[in-house]
Each structure stands twice: as structure tokens, then as C-alpha cells.
Amino acid sequence: MKYRALRILIIFSVLISLAGAQDLASFEKRTTVKKLANGLTVLICERPEAPVFSFFTHVDAGSVQDPMGETGLAHMFEHMAFKGTDKIGTKNYAAEKVALEKVEKAYAAYRYERDKRVGRDNAKVKQLEKAWQDAVQEANQYVVPNEFGEIVERNGGEGLNAFTDDDETGYHYSFPENRLELWAYLESERFIHPVMREFYKERNVVIEERRMRTDSRPIGRLLEQFISAAFQAHPYHRPTIGWLADLNYFSATDAQHFFNDYYVPSNMVVAVVGDVKASEAMPVVEKYFARIPSHAQPDEVSTSEPPQNSERRVILREASQPVYLEGYHRPDYLDKDDAVYDAIADLMSEGRTSRLYRALVRDKKIASVSAGFTGFPGNKYPHLFAFFAFPLPGHTPHEIEDAIHAEIERLKKEDITDDELKMIKTRAKANLVRGLAENEGLAFQLGQAQARYGDWRESFRQVDRIDKVSKADIRRVANQIFVPTNRTVGIIENIPAASTNKGGQQ
Amino acid sequence: MKRLASYSFVLVSLLIGISILSTVTLGQSDWRQIPIRPLRAFQPKQPKRIQLPNGMVIFLQEDRELPLIDGTARVRGGSREEPATKVGLINIYGEVWRTGGTKAQTGDQLDDFLEIRAAKVETGGGVDSTTIGWSCLKDDFDDVFKIVADLLHEPEFREDKIEIAKQGEYDNISRRNDEIGGIAAREAVKLAYGPQNSYARVPEYATVAAVTRQDLIDWHHAHVHPNNIILGITGDFDSSAMEAKLRQAFTGWPKGPAVKKNEIQFQPAKPGYYVIPKEDVNQSAIRMVDLGTTRDNPDYYAIEVFNEAFGGGFSSRLFRDLRTVKGLAYSVSGGIGTAFDHPGIVRLSMGTKSQTTIEAIQGLYEEIDNLNKQPISDDEIKRAKDSILNSFVFNFDSPEKVLRERMAYEFYGYPADFLEKYRVGIEKVQTADVTRAGGKYLHKEKLAVLVVGNTSEFDKPLSSLGPVTTVDITIPPPPGEKPGEAK
């Protein structure tokens, strides 16, 4: 029910783990992968520490796949996946189905008239809007609100939620171990028979989500503008939550089409981690998930971002306190240097020994927080490596900019020290180990690696890749991408609201 | 969506697989026919409790899954005890205890030493306690534990790190009115508890500036004594070897004075409407608050069931009516708040577009009125209890959670089997208890209603509902600066 893009700025370190061969060997014994006949991949990892399990359903479609003019649709469908099925959430599906078809007809007629650029008849718009609203009301009489969530909660589900980002959509919660079959039923049904009921009310809920995360937050406004400036051709330039006009445009039929196109079994990985035995659980999971009908995968996104040839700047003048952000284009996660970027992010940002903390917070005393991170706004396609800082009172984004650039220059001109390189590698190993202690996190990590690389073991091998990073690699990559023409800058400048004295700001 | 993150520990083996099969009476469809067998019997591992002669309480929780050892020491006394003229002291103390280093090593030297081992030692300040914790690979335990012990006994609070901590506080103060969510959260607590209440007050430039190195040293000497400390360790170690190590490290540490508790006054604001205008938003943050109660109140279990049915999760009334059916909010929740040792806050929260602000307030009121007109039904109560009891296992599904809960009960003087009592208490709750609890703690006419938003775009003026008080959130300027002067 949420989307993740905006979290990145606040998350300080997001190193996903890696482990030594010994851990990988232990997981080899406990992990089973099966590709079902319909193309869906199931991963089961046995971790019988407590009588519970977590799952993560990874769908390889995110806001990048939103059709033109329908931004926000991937995230909208994610919300609809909580609305039930032809059996859950309805008092009479046969009648409801007819009523929902009427809603769609009425909405199409209303939208057609409403969006006419020439010759719109406003009286007719009003009348068609009412007809649509009446149809919605008629359909609503068949709805049992939130029955899907109710079943999950009533059965002890924990952490029922989902997220959509630019690259993917994920669904997750945890259950007591005796509910595996119930889970397999519920999770497969929502992707066999989703019903677009209460669509237009839920669209308003999503618009409220947009107001909360983007419109009413200065940093939300900055990130949206920054990303759209940094990407011009690739769909990363569009917000996952969607532009307001698009949210007010798309229909339940559009969401159903999105589902039909992208929720293809071969586009999905289901990872289950916890107190389950693969020998017993796999047949149960297969029984339910094999029912999802297979069909052809949609075409991949083919647009690629052309090389940036001039610096871009986005400056927001706000009543809030200043923020500095800059990003540089880098290749996607499959690039041979992927681990080098992870190493740079760690070096610049992790803990009080990090270069940005020591330079901007400890020594220059111009920022309260500063870090660099990669994978922005996603990482499946070429994306950004970004740096940010919050200037301390009395200091400006321009001072921050100079200080960050000084650190980047150091990275380009001097080798990092032996100790720094050791820290990066040791932390990568330790972080891997720390990530293995929770079902939820493991399900996400293994499921995502299975989806992204076709092999869950890659989440362990990332450690090996970081272990191979050299000082020369770091200088080479830094010199390659941290150049002014490859840069987009986003700034919030503070303008005092005192002139109006109404802003609740100082 | 979350519940009860707090209660985790139990002695019983769990046969709590309460099947919804036996209770559902609606028409048949597939999911109701799926068999649910009883949950596998499970005996969560209990930590070993040790009390040293000097009063220090230690919990040891072995967990051999991964080669890590993590620990936390919680020290009695926190920001609720800091003087009103030095609010922010505990935040600064919580940071500089670690960054200021020890007599032998600077904080920077500690950083270098620990980071190369991918280990952490961190300190923090909270409302009723301060903490020092660590996380390390088990082979580094002795080295890391030595640093923890040095910080307990000989912290140095170096001036350069105090300055960095203060700058961080100033930065927080300067940014605290940037987002409506933060403003609403802070000001709602002030309305519920009173602006000067020590759970509600916040640091100001002047109170932070007033904090000195001597204050940090004095705080440390007044509080960090073994009899004020609860230490919990979890991970890959042998308990008896660890116990011997800890006895050796701490037995010679003499007792100190017990922490004094201040008498804290709770003075909820007058019921009515409070507004904080903010022009750069298109959504209003609405909070309705009153004083709640404590968890040792016999009504606690009925309150928990009430909260689940009224405002907690997908199937609650607030979520269903205001989000799903009316489409008025993304974020809506509410309930009767409880805390271990002081009253929680009765709080209804909602975010809605500026143009439906009054409609949303009326919608929340309607939900309260409906509690009388359509009391929470047997079915709603059954659902709420199922939800709490069937997810009960998640309170103790890791050794670390069990440890954390035991430490909390020890800290607040709750019985060690509080979680088991909780389960029994929830099971016993009857419909009449829930109705009574709702009626006793949630009163429309007692609520202080706070709206942070773009007043010029509201559907109606807030004053159409009653007299409105504008809350001034202007940040008092640093000492020596004039109001309105940019910092």
C-alpha cells in the first residue's frame, strides 16, 4: 500500500548482505527452487526457528511499466490486490460483475465528455458524472469491504502490506505455520481472480497518499522534480505515485489491462521462508499457484536514457529548511562494476568513519547529515548514484555542494586507504550475516535475487564481488561518472515566510 | 497495521491455533474449507536472569543461529527527568556518551577500531532511560565489550563532540515545522499532556545552548550505577562462560543512589478546536486527543480488543468507513493509548485533502457516536480477538524479541509472565467489557481537536464547529537573536 521511492533519501545505509561460502552452503541445504509449468518460480527456504513463516511475492513490473498517460497504474493495481476476488469481498458476484461493467461504461462515457478539448457540454458532463456515481453506488451494495484483509488478520497475519517502486511490485506478510495452505489459496486467488471493486474510491485514497508523500512535503516535491529532471527519455522520469491528472484519468478497466499484461506467472517469484518443509510445502504451493494461467510476457521497456551532456538544476524556493541533492547517471545493476558503486556508497556514507560524515559533519561542521547512495530511483535500468546533505542552520546548499565535490575529487585523485578498503569488505560480510536472522528480510532478499538474477545465490555472491573491488576500480569508476555534465542538482532554498506570517514557518 | 509489538514472552507451549472454521457462519466458499491444524507446539526460549549483589540485573539469551553477539544496557533516568531549562540534555548526552570517547581513546579512535571489525557500539537517550548497546561478530566480543565497559566507567564527553551534538539539535529545531506530520505529532502530545509536561516538551535553542559538559558528567555520575542498569545479551555464546565474564567485569562495581522519579503532571488541553495554519500543503493533518491510561489497568485487555475493532488494521471501523468506503484518507487510525508507567494518549489520526477537512472531522465524530448507536458487535469482537490471539506467536518468534520484552517488564516492574497474563486477559474479554471501555475512555466532548493545514482551502471554516484556538508554533529564536531573524 505504499511506494518506496521517497524512503531512499532518509535511509542511511541499505547494504544488502552477503556471506561466506559456509553460509551459502547452509542455505543450499535449506533452499528449494521450482519453476512451475506456468512459468512461476517458487522458492522455499526452511528456517524452523519458530512456528511462523513469511512470504514475498515479487512481480517484475513497477511504475516503469505504467502506460503513457496512466502514471501510477502499477501502484494503483497493487492497492486493488487487497480488494478481494470473485469469492472474497462480495455478497453476490454474479450481480456485482454486471454492476461493475455498468460502472465502467458510465465512467468511459463521463470521461470522454469531460476530457473533450473542443465542444464539451458541461451539463452533459454533470449528468454523466451522476450516472457514473449512481452506478458506483449500485455496485457497492454487493461489496463486503476489506474481507481479504480481514481474513488475513483474523488468521493471525502480521505485517500485511505491499509496495510498488519503479522496478517492481511486492506483496508480503507473515502467518503462523499452520496457515500455509490458507495463505497459498489467498495469495494465488488474488492473482487469478482479482476484482476491480471500489476502484474509484480507492483512487481517491491513492490521491490522498500522493498529497501526503509528495504534495504536502517539501522533500517530496523536491524528489519528484529532481527525478523528472534527471531522466528525460526513460520512464524513471515519472513518479511511481503518478501525476494527479493521470490518477484522475485511469479506469478500473485500465487497471485490469495492466494486470492482464504484467501479472504473468513467468513474471512472478514467490519466496516462502520459515517453519516449512519444502517436501510438504512445495506440493501445496504448486497446487494453488499452478492455477494462474500463463500467457506471453509483455515486451521489455526499450527506451534508454541518452547520455546527459549538460548539468541540470532544479531549485525549489520553499518556506522549509534547505536541502542539497545531486545525482549522476550510472549503468544498471547487471553492470560489471555494480559492486564498485556499492563500495563507494559504503565508503562515503556508512557510519562515523565515512568520508562525508567526517568532512561535512565532523570537520567542516556545515551539515547535520550527509550520505551517498545508489539505486535511485530504481536499479533495474540505468539509474543514479546520488549524494545529499542537510545544511546546518546558517549554512547554504552551495557550501554543501562545494564540500561534496571536494570529497568526490579526492575519490578521483587519490586511492582510498587500506583500512578503508578493509572496512568496506568486512562490513559487507557482516551485513550479510546480520540480514539472515529474519524470515521477512530473507524472503525479500532471496525472492528479489531469484527474480533479478534468476538465482537466489547471487545475494550471497554480492559479497564476493565486493571482495574483489580494488582501489583502482574505485578511482576508475569515480572518474567515469562523477563529472559535471553527468550531474543533476536538486536544491531546496529557504525563503522566509515571514512576509505573509501565515505559513507556520520561521 | 501493527499491534502489540510489545508483548512478547510466554511460558506456555502454544496451542493457540484458534481456527476461524468453527466460528464462521457465512455462506460456504473455498477458503473456509481449508483445514487448519493446531499450531506446532513451541516453547520459546527464556533468557537466564541474573542479579548481581550490587543490584545489576542481567539477562542472557543464547541464540546460536548466527555468529553474532548483541547487547543493550538500559539505565534508569531519561529526558523526563531533565531540568526544564536544559531540555535536550538527554539527547546530547545520548550522543556524546559514545562520540565523546573514553579517558583512554577519543570517539574517533573508537569509530576506527570498531568499523574495521564491522562492529557497533552506540549510546542513546530516551524519555525514561538511556542505553548503551553493541553488535559484533562473536570473535570480536572481548574487544568490543571492553569498549562498552570503558564507556560505562570512564566516558570523557569531549567538548568538540558536544558542539557537533548541539549543532544537530539546532538543526532539528530549525526543521521541526517543515512537515505537517511532524508538527501534528508534536503538538498533539502537548495538547494531550500539557505543553510543559515532560513527555511533551521539546528542546529549544536556549535550552540546548544551556547544556554544559559538566551537566553530562553530572548526569552520568548520578545515574550510571549497577543498581540502575538492566543488561541484556543475545547471540552465539555459552551462558555460563558469559555469566562468569560479566560477574568478573561488574561485581566490584559499587552500588550508587537510586534514580529519583519526578512527579509528573498531566494537564490535557481544554476540549475544543486548535488550528495551525500552513500554506504550502493540500492535505490537513487531523488529530483528536485526550488522556489515556496505563497497562496495569484492569481495563487494559478490553481496551486492546476495542482498539483492534475500532481503529487497528484493515478490518477496523475507521479504516473501513473513512478510507475504504468514503475514500477520505490514506492514513487513518485511532484508539485508546496505553503505556507501562504513565497514561498513554487517546488519539484519532487522519490525513485528508484540505477541501474535506471538516467532513473528515465529522466523519470521525460519527464513528464515536456510532459506538453508542451500533455498539461493537459480537462478531467484531470475535474478529478482533482472533486477530490478536492468532498472531500472538509473533510476540515471541525470535529469542531477541523474548529478551527485549523481559527487559521491558523488568524495567517497569511488570510481572515476568505479563505476556501470558495478556493472552489470558484477551481471551476473557466479553462484549460488555469492550462497550464499557469505549464509553469510559473515548468521549467526543472531551477531545482536543488539532488541525494542521491550509485553512483557506477548507470546505468550511473550522470555527463552524466551535471556538478555535490558533496554536503559535513560532520557534523562539536563539538567545541574542531577534525574532524573525534567519538563523
Which portions of chain A are predicted below pLDDT 50?
3-22, 499-506
Same domain, B104 and B216: yes
Distance, CA of A426 to CA of A466 (rounded, Å): 10
Distance, CA of B349 to CA of B188 (rounded, Å): 10
Neighbour-count burial of B240, counting CB atoms closer than 10 A to its CB (0-12 exposed, 13-18 middle, 19+ buried): exposed
Same domain, A244 and A372: no
Give the pLDDT of residue A9.
37
Instruction: Note down the domain range covering A153.
Output: 2-289
Specify if B39 maps to a domain.
Answer: no
Specify if A303 maps to a domain.
Answer: no
User: Where does a domain end: A289, A304, A328?
Assistant: A289
CATH assignment at residue A207: 3.30.830.10
Same domain, A284 and A328: no
User: What ipTM was reported for this prediction?
Assistant: 0.92
Report the chain B residue with the minimal C-alpha distance to residue A186. B31
Same domain, A268 and A386: no
Same domain, B212 and B282: no
Specify if A73 maps to a domain.
Answer: yes
C-alpha cell at A211: 498529497
Same domain, A273 and A409: no
Distance, CA of A163 to CA of A146 (rounded, Å): 18
Residues of B in contact with A154 (CB under 8 A): 20, 315, 383, 386-387, 390
The residues pairing with B73 across neighbouring beta strands, listed in sequence order, are: B132, B231
pLDDT at residue B414 tops 50 = yes
Same domain, B65 and B125: yes
Average pLDDT rounded to a whole number, residues B331-352: 97
Residues of B in contact with A434 (CB under 8 A): 66, 68, 135
3-state secondary structure string across chain B? CCCCCCCCCCCCCCCCCCCCCCCCCCCCCHHHHCCCCCCCCCCCCCCEEEECCCCCEEEEEECCCCCEEEEEEEEECCHHHCCHHHCCHHHHHHHHHHHCCECCCCHHHHHHHHHCCCCEEEEEECCCEEEEEEEEEHHHHHHHHHHHHHHHHCECCCHHHHHHHHHHHHHHHHHCCCCHHHHHHHHHHHHHHCCCCCCCCCCCHHHHHCCCHHHHHHHHHHHCCHHHEEEEEEECCCHHHHHHHHHHHHCCCCCCCCCCCCCCCCCCCCCEEEEEECCCCCEEEEEEEEECEECCCCCHHHHHHHHHHHHCCCCCHHHHHHHHHCCCCCCEEEEECEECCCCCEEEEEEEEEHHHHHHHHHHHHHHHHHHHHCCCCHHHHHHHHHHHHHCHHHHCCCHHHHHHHHHHHHHHCCCCCHHHHHHHHHHHCCHHHHHHHHHHHCCHHHCEEEEEECHHHCCCCHHHCCCEEECCCCCCCCCCCCCCCCC
Same domain, A187 and A57: yes
pLDDT at residue B7 tops 90 = no
Same domain, B321 and B380: yes
Distance, CA of A369 to CA of A69 (rounded, Å): 37
Specify if B2 maps to a domain.
Answer: no
The residues pairing with A135 across neighbouring beta strands, listed in sequence order, are: none
B92 and B80 Cβ atoms separated by less than 8 Å:
no
Residue B392 exposure: Cα atoms within 13 Å on the Cβ side: 29
User: Where does a domain end: B196, B219, B250?
Assistant: B250
Chain B interface, best mutation among A17, A24, A205, by max B CB count within 10 A:
A205
C-alpha cell at A139: 455496485
Specify if B32 maps to a domain.
Answer: no
The residues pairing with A3 across neighbouring beta strands, listed in sequence order, are: A164
A173 and A54 Cβ atoms separated by less than 8 Å:
yes
Pairing of strands B120-125, B283-291: unpaired
* Nearest residue, CB atoms, A155 vs list B164, B180, B390: B390
Torsion of CA A92, A93, A95, A98, to 10 degrees: 160
Same domain, A327 and A440: yes
Pairing of strands A268-274, B57-62: unpaired
pLDDT at residue B378 tops 90 = yes
In one-letter notation, the amino acid at residue A271 is A
Torsion of CA A50, A52, A58, A63, to 10 degrees: -110
pLDDT at residue B211 tops 90 = yes
Same domain, B231 and B87: yes
Pairing of strands B129-137, B332-336: unpaired
Q: Determine, for residues A154 and B172 on separate chains, whether the beta-carbon distance falls below 8 Å.
A: no
Chain A interface, best mutation among B25, B283, B395, by max A CB count within 10 A:
B283
Same domain, A261 and A409: no
Q: Is the dihedral of CA A345, A347, A351, A354 positive or negative?
A: negative
Q: How far is B263 from chain A (nearest CA, A)?
A: 33
Specify if A304 maps to a domain.
Answer: no
Cα B79 from chain centre: 14
- ∠ CA A395-A401-A402, rounded to 5°: 95
Average pLDDT rounded to a whole number, residues B123-129: 98
Q: Determine, for residues A157 and B330 on separate chains, whether the beta-carbon distance falls below 8 Å.
A: no
Q: What is the rounded average pLDDT for all residues in chain B?
A: 92
- ∠ CA A102-A104-A110, rounded to 5°: 105
Distance, CA of B232 to CA of B63 (rounded, Å): 13
Report the chain B residue with the minimal C-alpha distance to residue A141. B325
Same domain, A252 and A316: no
Residue B72's pLDDT band, with cuts at 50, 70 and 90, is: very high
Distance, CA of A156 to CA of A422 (rounded, Å): 44
Residues 6+ apart with CB under 8 A from A195: A83, A84, A85, A86, A89, A90, A93, A96, A100
pLDDT at residue B18 tops 50 = no
Give the pLDDT of residue A1.
54
Residues 6+ apart with CB under 8 A from A306: A232, A233
* Nearest residue, CB atoms, B327 vs list A158, A176, A205: A205
CATH assignment at residue B298: 3.30.830.10
Pairing of strands B68-76, B48-51: unpaired
Distance, CA of B481 to CA of B487 (rounded, Å): 8
Specify if A301 maps to a domain.
Answer: no
pLDDT 10s digits, B225-239: 999 999 999 999 999
Residues of B in contact with A426 (CB under 8 A): 116-118
Instruction: Note down the domain range covering B241.
Output: 48-250
Specify if B432 maps to a domain.
Answer: yes
Q: What is the DSSP letter of A157?
A: -
Q: How far is A485 from chain B (nearest CA, A)?
A: 32
Phi, psi of B75 (to 5 degrees): -110, 130
Give the pLDDT of residue B274.
98
Chain A interface, best mutation among B6, B391, B396, by max A CB count within 10 A:
B391
* Nearest residue, CB atoms, A211 vs list B283, B392, B397: B283
| % of chain B beyond a pLDDT of 90 | 90
Same domain, A110 and A230: yes
Give the pLDDT of residue A498.
52
Distance, CA of B85 to CA of B63 (rounded, Å): 44
Q: Determine, for residues B313 and A496 on separate chains, whether the beta-carbon distance falls below 8 Å.
A: no
Pairing of strands B338-339, B229-235: unpaired
Same domain, B130 and B244: yes
Specify if A296 maps to a domain.
Answer: no
Torsion of CA A263, A268, A274, A279, to 10 degrees: 110
Same domain, B241 and B300: no
Residues of A in contact with B326 (CB under 8 A): 201
Least confident interval from B31-45, B216-230, B409-423: B31-45
Specify if B444 maps to a domain.
Answer: yes
C-alpha cell at A346: 559504503
Candidates A308, A388, A406, A398; CA nearest to A345 is A388
Torsion of CA B339, B342, B348, B354, to 10 degrees: -120
- Positions of E strands within A377-486: 383-391
C-alpha cell at A39: 512459468
Same domain, B193 and B220: yes
Candidates B336, B252, B222; CA nearest to B290 is B336
A171 and A60 Cβ atoms separated by less than 8 Å:
no
C-alpha cell at B456: 483557506
Q: Determine, for residues A52 and B282 on separate chains, whether the beta-carbon distance falls below 8 Å.
A: no
B455 and B275 Cβ atoms separated by less than 8 Å:
yes
Average pLDDT rounded to a whole number, residues B383-402: 96
Same domain, B196 and B309: no
Distance, CA of A163 to CA of B316 (rounded, Å): 21
Same domain, B194 and B235: yes
Q: Determine, for residues A156 and B168 on separate chains, whether the beta-carbon distance falls below 8 Å.
A: no
Distance, CA of A338 to CA of A37 (rounded, Å): 33
Same domain, B333 and B404: yes
Distance, CA of B360 to CA of B383 (rounded, Å): 26
Same domain, A341 and A269: no
B289 and B346 Cβ atoms separated by less than 8 Å:
yes
Residues 6+ apart with CB under 8 A from A141: A91, A99
Contacts A–B by Cβ distance under 8 A: 261
Distance, CA of A289 to CA of A36 (rounded, Å): 8
Q: How many structural domains does chain B have?
A: 2
Q: How far is B278 from chain A (nearest CA, A)?
A: 5
Q: Residue A408: helix, strand or coil by DSSP?
A: helix
Q: Determine, for residues A181 and B486 on separate chains, whether the beta-carbon distance falls below 8 Å.
A: no
Specify if B414 maps to a domain.
Answer: yes
Same domain, B167 and B125: yes
Q: Determine, for residues A149 and B315 on separate chains, whether the beta-carbon distance falls below 8 Å.
A: yes
Pairing of strands B345-353, B332-336: antiparallel
Give the pLDDT of residue A25.
86
The residues pairing with A383 across neighbouring beta strands, listed in sequence order, are: A330
Pairing of strands B448-453, B468-470: unpaired
User: Where does a domain end: B250, B282, B302?
Assistant: B250
Give the pLDDT of residue B309.
97
Q: What is the DSSP letter of A392?
A: P
pLDDT 10s digits, B107-124: 999 999 999 999 999 999
Q: How many structural domains does chain A have?
A: 2
Distance, CA of B81 to CA of B232 (rounded, Å): 24
